[in-house]
């Protein structure tokens, strides 16, 4: 018996509202923000599945992407070291550092990890030091627990609640002086699941330096408080030294690769207008956070802030990474380089006869 025909009009009447309801539900669920992993604590698994020791690297190198899939207790130890090192070809400076270099070691953890942090101060340090990690939610970002006299060590733990690229720096008074002398670095908190895979990752950190003598004056240079207060640096540098990352020290990449840069700005004063000459940032994780912008020529990196940028290597070239407040790049040292090797790609770029 074909009874359907009698029911059909009722069915039809039912289908439309049902469809509407269904599509409304879909609509609402797709409106849920898709822009990455917010720190919804109810979603973070707080059960730790083991202890690991963080791999710490020196700039421009970055620790390997993390492969674990559940939160760990991560052991991190940093040592503060005061050290005279060259700042340029002719000038030396008494740097205060995390780990003996500027910037300090790169720390890589995963959202949800419990970081067990020990700060040591080298026995022959003149000063006491501490640390504030911008990834920490807690008093002073850790500074309250880490006031460390020479030869001593302090200890605290924090949960990496939020993903992102965060600055860390010394927070012992007077804080600007400790930062001006080079006490900063980066800690990456990978989102759950990690960052998308790329071919190479590098670490750069910009900083401004203030010396009594002029740029590249010979000998050991003293810190100049007057210039620092006036925000008038002699040096604006990537990784603490003129030409630290240029020429034979340039970063390396190959045509076809995607390169990711973790870029921090220790300040103490200047904001960076970070630009790759001869390239475009395909992706910018703005301010080191979760929002991603695309196709950006120049991105702002605040003092005490960071950005993650990516580029696709298309042609062989030397990419000059600069602070586009351009006198800084030309006259004060704010240039780093990526040397890209590989086959020419005329469809992207070709010099022609006039």
Partner 1 sequence: MITTFFCAGNAQKKVVFSGDKMVTVPSGNYQPFFITPNNKPIPVPAFKMDETAVTNAEFLEFVKANPEWRRSKVNRLFADTNYLRHWQSDLSIGESNKKIYNSPVVNVSWFAAEAYCKWKNKKLPTIAQWELAAKAAPKNLKYTSVTDFILDWYTKPNPKVLPNVKSTYQNEYGLYDMNGLIWEWTFNFNSFIASKDSRGNDEDELKNFCAGGALNVADKSDYAAFLRFSYRGSLKGNFCIANLGFRCVKS
Which residues of the shown chain bind partner 1 in the complex (CB under 8 A)? 82-84, 94, 123-128, 130, 132, 139-140, 143-152, 171-175, 177, 181, 222-223, 225, 229
Quick one: how far is CA 169 from the chain centroid?
Answer: 13
Q: How far is the CB of 326 from partner 1 (least distance, A)?
A: 31
188/8 Cα distance (integer angstroms) = 60
> Residue 272: enclosing H or E segment and its boundaries?
strand 272-277
Is the CB of 116 or the CB of 225 nearer to partner 1? 225
Q: How far is the CB of 142 from partner 1 (least distance, A)?
A: 9
Q: How far is the CB of 68 from partner 1 (least distance, A)?
A: 32
Among candidates 296, 227, 306, which has minimal Cα distance to 265?
A: 306
Dihedral (CA of 313, 314, 318, 319) sign: negative
Is the CB of 9 or the CB of 174 nearer to partner 1? 174
Is the CB of 154 or the CB of 246 nearer to partner 1? 154
Is the CB of 139 or the CB of 256 nearer to partner 1? 139
Is the CB of 35 or the CB of 226 nearer to partner 1? 226
Is the CB of 83 or the CB of 339 nearer to partner 1? 83
Q: How far is the CB of 84 from partner 1 (least distance, A)?
A: 6
- CB hemisphere CA count around 158 (13 angstroms): 27
CB 110 within 8 A of CB 189: yes
Q: How far is the CB of 83 from partner 1 (least distance, A)?
A: 7
279/322 Cα distance (integer angstroms) = 12
Q: How far is the CB of 264 from partner 1 (least distance, A)?
A: 19
97 token code pair: 């550092």
CB 205 within 8 A of CB 264: yes
Any idea what DSSP says for residue 154?
E
């Amino acid at each position: 018996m074909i009874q359907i025909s009698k029911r059909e009009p009722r069915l039809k009447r039912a289908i439309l509202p049902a469809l509407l309801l269904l599509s409304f539900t879909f609509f609402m669920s797709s409106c849920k923000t898709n822009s990455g992993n917010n720190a919804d604590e109810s979603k973070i698994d707080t059960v730790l599945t083991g202890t690991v020791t963080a791999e710490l690297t020196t700039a421009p190198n970055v620790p390997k992407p993390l492969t674990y899939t559940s939160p760990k207790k991560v052991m991190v130890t940093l040592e503060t070291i005061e050290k005279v090192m060259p700042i340029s070809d002719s000038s030396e400076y008494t740097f205060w550092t995390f780990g003996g270099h500027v910037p300090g070691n790169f720390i890589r953890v995963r959202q949800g990890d419990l970081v067990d942090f020990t700060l040591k101060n080298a026995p022959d340090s003149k000063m006491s030091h501490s640390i504030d990690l911008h990834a920490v939610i807690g008093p002073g970002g850790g500074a309250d627990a880490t006031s460390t006299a020479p030869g001593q060590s302090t200890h605290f733990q924090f949960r990496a609640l939020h993903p992102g690229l965060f600055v860390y720096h010394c927070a012992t008074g007077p804080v600007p002086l400790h930062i001006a002398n080079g006490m900063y670095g980066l800690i990456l908190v990978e989102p759950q699941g990690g960052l998308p895979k790329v071919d190479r990752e590098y670490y750069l950190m910009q900083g401004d330096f203030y010396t009594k003598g002029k740029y590249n004056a010979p000998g050991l240079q003293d810190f100049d408080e007057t210039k620092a207060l006036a925000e008038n640096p002699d040096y604006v540098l990537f990784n603490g030294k003129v030409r630290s990352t240029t020429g034979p020290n340039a970063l390396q990449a190959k045509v076809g690769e995607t390169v990711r840069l973790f870029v921090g700005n220790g300040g103490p004063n200047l904001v960076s207008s970070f630009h790759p000459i001869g390239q475009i940032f395909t992706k910018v994780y703005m301010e080191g956070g979760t929002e991603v912008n695309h196709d950006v020529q120049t991105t702002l990196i605040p003092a005490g802030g960071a950005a993650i940028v990516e580029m696709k290597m298309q042609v062989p070239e030397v990419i000059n990474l600069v602070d586009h407040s351009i006198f800084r790049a030309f006259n004060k040292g704010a240039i780093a380089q990526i040397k890209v090797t590989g086959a020419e790609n005329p469809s992207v770029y070709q010099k022609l006869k006039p």
